[in-house]
């Protein structure tokens, strides 16, 4: 598995600790059709090195020049770039797009201890929000912005001056059961931004031939999810129909804070699943977290359409809650 984590804060910290100086430039507002979403970042070293982007490449040069001055002066800078509709396409800000970019030198504006804590949180897959602004008290928080965390939505608060930058871990999807539906779901999940992990102790099912290039664990599901970890940015999808495989992983998920649990099977199969969990002492609220039968009811026929229904339901729960 390859985490799709950018390394922009990590790179800025490395440049600072190497004595080069560094700044982080963050897109804090957009109008029109901007090429990079709010929260996108560019790291700039005092030597003019860069990582990341705040546009389609059209304003990076200007941002770097302003950032070098900001590093030298030790002050924050709020930049705004926009173009007319006639010139927009040529420079990459389509449809007259406009962006605002906050530049924060590390050490003088963004406290280096906050940047270190941010890097540690990202490494540990802990969602954090960096609260900042031209005159804000800069801090990291883990609570208080539940909607922003769920929506991956950085932005200004209602006061128009306090900016909240959301740093969420990459999304993951653990799929138990290397069945036909999984052959459709794994690539769909990857396209949607998930790092998929496939678990199936049956090597004839979870083979490289059937799932080329994918991460496959041939362990028992409870052992695999324990080793891999279950957190609030993970979705668990159970596809085997076999209680010996599904139930141990299901029980581990119910004791975790994964944001989605889905289990394949008919209404009758799910009723039997609920009864087994009740016998093991799981309460109604815990069991209600399970989406079974799995996926949105879109009349899906065949493995590929079932995979579409599953991914749609996972997306709905992620973005709108359970």
pLDDT per position as a tens digit, 96-117: 568 899 999 999 999 999 999 9
What percent of the chain has pLDDT above 70?
93
| 256: in domain | yes
Share of the chain above pLDDT 90, in %: 75
Across residues 141-147, what is the average pLDDT? 92
pLDDT per residue over 156-186, tens digit each? Answer: 999 999 999 999 999 999 999 999 999 999 9
Ranges 32-46, 208-222, 244-258, 301-315, most confident: 301-315
pLDDT of 1 above 60: no
Q: What are the two backbone dihedrals, phi and then psi, of residue 179, each rounded to the nearest 5 degrees?
A: -95, 180
Q: Which pLDDT band holds residue 211 (cuts at 50, 70, 90)?
A: very high
Does some domain include residue 289?
yes
Same domain, 95 and 216: no
Residue 284: the pLDDT is 95
Residues 196-221 have a mean pLDDT of 92
| Long-range residue pairs from 219-224, CB within 8 A, at least 24 positions apart, any chain | 220/245, 220/248, 221/176, 221/245, 221/246, 221/248, 221/249, 222/248, 222/249, 222/251, 222/252, 224/174, 224/197, 224/199, 224/249
29 found inside a domain: yes
- Whole-number pLDDT of residue 58: 73
Cα separations (Å) of 137 from 2, 159, 161? 35, 14, 11
Q: What is the pLDDT of residue 320?
A: 87
Do 160 and 175 share a structural domain?
A: no
- List strands edge to edge, sheet with 50-52: 50-52, 41-45, 22-31, 98-105, 77-82
Residues 111, 202 within the same domain: no
Q: Which of 130, 152, 167 is at the close of a domain?
A: 167
CB 174 within 8 A of CB 180: no
What is the residue whose two structure tokens read 């926009």? 82
Over range 66-79, report the average pLDDT: 97
Dihedral angle of Cα 4, 8, 14, 19, to the nearest 10 degrees: 170
Res 56: pLDDT: 72
pLDDT band at 41 (very low <50, low <70, confident <90, very high): very high
pLDDT at 132 over 50: yes
Which strands make up the sheet holding 155-156, listed edge to edge?
139-141, 128-132, 163-167, 155-156
CA angle 144, 145, 149 (to 5 degrees): 140
pLDDT of amino acid 36:
78
Report the C-alpha dihedral over residues 251, 257, 262, 267, rounded to 10 degrees: 60
Q: Tell me, yes or no, whether 206 and 272 share the same domain.
A: yes
Which range has the worst mean pLDDT, 59-68, 89-98, 301-310? 89-98
Domain boundary among 139, 167, 195: 167
Last residue within a domain, chosen from 131, 149, 167: 167
Strand (E) or helix (H) holding 169: none
Beta bridge partners of 156: 163
pLDDT of residue 34: 66
What's the pLDDT score for residue 239? 96
Q: Which of 314, 10, 30 has its CA nearest to residue 173? A: 314
In a domain, 3, yes or no: no
Looking at residue 91, what is its pLDDT? Answer: 47
In a domain, 292, yes or no: yes
Classify residue 1: in a domain, yes or no.
Answer: no
232 and 284 in a single domain? The answer is yes
Confidence band (pLDDT; 50, 70, 90) for 82?
confident
Predicted local distance difference test score (pLDDT) of residue 161:
95
**Per-residue pLDDT, 94:** 52
Q: 251 and 127 in one domain?
A: no
Examine the domain organization and report whether 226 and 91 are in the same domain.
Answer: no
* Cα(194)–Cα(4) distance, integer angstroms: 9
Q: What is the pLDDT of residue 142?
A: 94
Number of domains composing the chain: 2
DSSP string, 181-222: HHHHHHHHHHHTTEEEEEE-S-TTTS-TTTSTT-EEE-S-HH
In this prediction, residue 86 carries a pLDDT of 46
Domain containing 17: what range?
8-167
Residue 311's domain is classified under what CATH number? 3.40.50.720
Mean pLDDT to the nearest integer, 236-261: 93
- For residues 121 and 240, state if they share a domain: no
């Amino acid at each position: 598995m390859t985490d799709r984590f950018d390394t922009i804060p990590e790179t800025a910290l490395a440049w600072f600790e190497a004595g080069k100086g560094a700044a982080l430039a963050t897109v804090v507002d957009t109008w029109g059709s901007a090429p990079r979403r709010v929260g996108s970042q560019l790291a700039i070293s005092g030597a003019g090195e860069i990582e990341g982007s705040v546009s389609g490449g059209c304003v990076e040069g200007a941002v770097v020049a302003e950032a070098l001055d900001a590093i030298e002066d030790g002050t924050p800078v709020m930049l705004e770039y926009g173009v007319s509709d006639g010139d927009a396409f040529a420079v990459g800000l389509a449809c007259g797009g406009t962006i605002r970019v906050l530049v924060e030198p590390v050490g003088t504006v963004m406290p280096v201890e906050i940047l270190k804590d941010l890097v540690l949180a990202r490494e540990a897959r802990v969602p954090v929000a960096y609260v900042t602004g031209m005159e804000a008290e800069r801090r990291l928080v883990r609570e208080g912005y539940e909607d922003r965390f769920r929506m991956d939505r950085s932005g200004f608060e209602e006061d128009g001056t306090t900016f909240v930058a959301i740093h969420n871990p990459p999304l993951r999807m653990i799929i138990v059961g290397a069945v036909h539906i999984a052959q459709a779901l794994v690539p769909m999940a990857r396209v949607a931004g998930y790092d998929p992990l496939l678990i199936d102790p049956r090597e004839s099912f979870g083979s490289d031939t059937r799932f080329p290039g994918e991460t496959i664990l041939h362990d028992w599901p409870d052992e695999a999810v324990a080793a891999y970890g279950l957190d609030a940015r993970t979705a668990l999808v159970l596809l085997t129909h076999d209680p010996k495989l599904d139930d141990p992983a299901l029980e581990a998920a119910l004791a975790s804070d994964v944001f989605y649990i889905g289990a394949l099977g008919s209404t009758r199969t799910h009723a039997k699943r609920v009864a087994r969990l009740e016998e093991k002492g799981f309460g109604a609220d815990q069991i209600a977290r399970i989406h079974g039968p799995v996926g949105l009811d879109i009349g899906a026929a065949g493995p590929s359409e079932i995979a579409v229904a599953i991914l749609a339901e996972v997306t709905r729960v992620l973005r709108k809650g359970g």
